[in-house]
């Protein structure tokens, strides 16, 4: 088992990670608490049972709610369902919510905890690679609004994160690739050595090798932890974590949130941001080629053939909520591991970078 400490202005908490960390020892500190467990409907039965037994055995009050994880359900209706259970069973301010699921379940449970009785504690047990390296670290919680993703939310840090790689065994292959996109992003903005390690180990990671995945998750969380510790509420360097996301969010909308998953859109966005980095920050061609090779290896042939209408994509980027004033913000690389925030970039340069080659 490995432990990484996340230190933020509002709270310090541990992320425990390993191949068997959902045992009762890691739940002991929650004994005699009122507990609500929110579960993703696709969690493997045996892992689910282990968590259910461990929590129901120690709690003073126990309820659970199973939710089908899709973006439509990341809604105010589902949030109300969680609040309804808490209110019907008279949960006090001293209660604690547990999320067992991917980013959707983590985000909505976190937001339910942030808003119930003006804020109660919660623990995350992320069950997808993406949520283990991204959504479970940093305290962003949210639900969607019909007009946009993650529009209603709060910064609310969990009390603890339990990251167990055995949960990844039941994941579809595409979900591993989505998580790898965020892992590659972490290397690109902060750590050249880790990028090189990813180049050498990408095949094992794609095949779901436990040991390698744990190493990648741990390194990736360390990078995100360092960034959010310095900038909890995204006033400065936390924006680096949006590398590939200005293009990526627009790509998600371009495909109506159906054609491309978040991870796929981010991966394609990273290729475009890399093209723009060469143009604007003189990122060396040899580094650009290395980045593309690695990112291409997590995308399918079919996705790599996608052609975008640049003007349409730029219009969608301008509608993104992270836009400041009239300028689009881009996170660009001067070299692998060195990120910068830039705005005021000529539209012609952005248009030129919208390609996957």
Ligand X SMILES: NC(=O)c1ccc[n+]([C@@H]2O[C@H](COP(=O)([O-])OP(=O)(O)OC[C@H]3O[C@@H](n4cnc5c(N)ncnc54)[C@H](O)[C@@H]3O)[C@@H](O)[C@H]2O)c1
Does the annotation count 245 as an active-site position? Answer: yes
Q: 336 near 326, Cβ under 8 Å?
A: no
Residue from 121, 164, 178, 252 that binds ligand X (CB under 6 A)?
178
Question: Dihedral, CA atoms, 202, 296, 135, 194, nearest 10 degrees?
Answer: 40
Secondary element (H or E) of residue 126: strand 121-126
Per CB under 6 A, 104 contacts ligand X: yes
Residue from the set 18, 102, 244, 248 that interacts with ligand X by CB under 6 A: 102
Q: Which of 59, 78, 109, 131 binds ligand X (CB under 6 A)?
A: 131
Pairing of β 160-164 and β 12-18: parallel
224 is a catalytic site residue: yes
Q: Taking the complex as a whole, how short is the minimal distance between the CB of residue 249 and ligand X, in angstroms?
A: 10
Task: Identify the residue among 121, 134, 232, 287 touching ligand X (CB under 6 A).
Answer: 134
238 labelled catalytic: yes
Residue 295 Cβ, how far from ligand X at the closest point, in Å? 17
Q: Around 225, how many Cα atoms within 13 Å sit in the side-chain half-sphere?
A: 19
Q: Does 164 bind ligand X (CB under 6 A)?
A: no
Cβ(153)–Cβ(76) under 8 Å?
A: no
- Alpha-carbon 204 to chain mean position: 21
Helix H or strand E encompassing 101: strand 96-101
Q: Which of 144, 212, 262, 264 is catalytic?
A: 262
Residue 242 annotated in active site: yes
Q: How far is the CB of 297 from ligand X (least distance, A)?
A: 19
Q: Quick check: 207 and 216 in contact, CB under 8 A?
A: no
Which of residues 97, 167, 189, 225 is near ligand X by CB under 6 A? 167
Q: Output 177 or 212, the one with its CB closest to ligand X.
A: 177
Taking the C-alpha atoms of residue 215 and residue 195, their distance in angstroms, rounded to an integer, is 13
Say which DSSP state 136 is in.
T
The catalytically annotated residue of 175, 232, 245, 287 is 245
* 150 is an interface residue for ligand X by CB under 6 A: yes
Residue 309 annotated among the catalytic residues of the structure: no
Query: Which one of the spans 35-43, 84-92, 276-284, 312-320 is the region binding ligand X (CB under 6 A)?
Result: 35-43
Beta-bridged to residue 70, according to DSSP, are none
Among 2, 42, 192, 290, binds ligand X (CB under 6 A): 42
**Binding characters for ligand X, 67-86, by CB under 6 A (x = yes):** --x----x------------
CB 154 to ligand X: min, Å: 11
Q: Is 101 in the site for ligand X (CB under 6 A)?
A: yes
205: alpha, beta or left? (left if phi > 0; alpha if psi -120 to 50): alpha
Stretch that binds ligand X, among 16-24, 57-65, 95-103, 309-317 (CB under 6 A): 95-103
Among 4, 15, 18, 40, binds ligand X (CB under 6 A): 40
Angstrom distance (rounded) from CA 331 to CA 313 = 17
Closest CA to 267 of 247, 288, 239, 240: 247
| C-alpha–C-alpha distance, residues 357 and 343, integer Å | 24
**Based on the number of CB atoms within 10 Å of its own CB, is 352 exposed (0-12), middle (13-18) or buried (19 or more)?**
middle
Task: In angstroms, give the least distance from the CB of 128 to ligand X.
Answer: 3
Query: Which of 258, 276, 260 has the alpha carbon at shortest distance from 268?
Result: 260
**Active site amino acids:** 118, 140, 182, 224, 234, 238, 242, 245, 249, 262
Query: Which positions touch ligand X (CB under 6 A)?
Result: 40, 42-43, 69, 74, 101-105, 107, 127-128, 130-131, 134-135, 138, 140, 149-150, 167, 170-171, 175, 178, 262
């Amino acid at each position: 088992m490995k432990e990484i400490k996340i230190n933020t202005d509002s709270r310090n908490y541990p992320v425990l990670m390993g191949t068997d960390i959902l045992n009762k020892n890691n739940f002991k500190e929650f004994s005699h608490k009122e507990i609500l467990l929110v579960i993703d409907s696709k969690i493997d039965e045996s892992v689910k049972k282990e968590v259910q037994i461990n929590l129901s055995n120690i709690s003073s009050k126990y309820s659970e709610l199973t939710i089908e994880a899709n973006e439509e359900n990341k809604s105010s209706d589902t949030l109300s369902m969680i609040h309804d259970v808490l209110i019907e069973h008279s949960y006090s301010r001293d209660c604690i919510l547990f999320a067992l699921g991917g980013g959707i379940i983590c985000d909505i449970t976190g937001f339910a905890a942030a808003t119930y009785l003006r804020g109660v504690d919660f623990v995350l047990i992320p069950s997808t690679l993406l949520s283990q390296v991204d959504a479970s670290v940093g305290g962003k919680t949210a639900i969607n609004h019909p007009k946009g993703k993650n529009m209603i939310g709060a910064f609310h840090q969990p009390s603890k994160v339990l990251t167990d790689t055995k949960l990844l065994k039941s994941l579809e292959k595409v979900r591993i690739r989505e998580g790898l996109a965020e892992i590659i992003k972490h290397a690109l903005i902060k750590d050249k050595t880790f990028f090189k390690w990813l180049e050498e180990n990408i095949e094992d990671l794609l095949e779901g090798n436990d040991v390698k995945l744990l190493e990648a998750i741990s390194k990736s969380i360390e990078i995100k932890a360092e960034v959010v510790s310095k900038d909890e509420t995204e006033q400065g360097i936390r924006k680096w974590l949006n590398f590939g996301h200005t293009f990526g969010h627009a790509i998600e909308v371009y495909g109506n949130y159906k054609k491309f998953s978040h991870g796929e859109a981010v991966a394609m966005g990273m290729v475009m941001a890399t093209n723009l980095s060469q143009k604007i920050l003189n990122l060396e061609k040899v580094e650009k080629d290395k980045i593309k090779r690695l990112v291409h290896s997590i995308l399918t042939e079919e996705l790599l053939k996608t052609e975008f209408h640049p003007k349409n994509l730029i219009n969608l980027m301008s509608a993104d909520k992270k836009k400041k004033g009239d300028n689009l913000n881009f996170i660009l690389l001067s070299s692998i591991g060195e990120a910068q925030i830039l705005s005021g970039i000529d539209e012609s340069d952005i248009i030129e970078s919208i390609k996957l080659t």
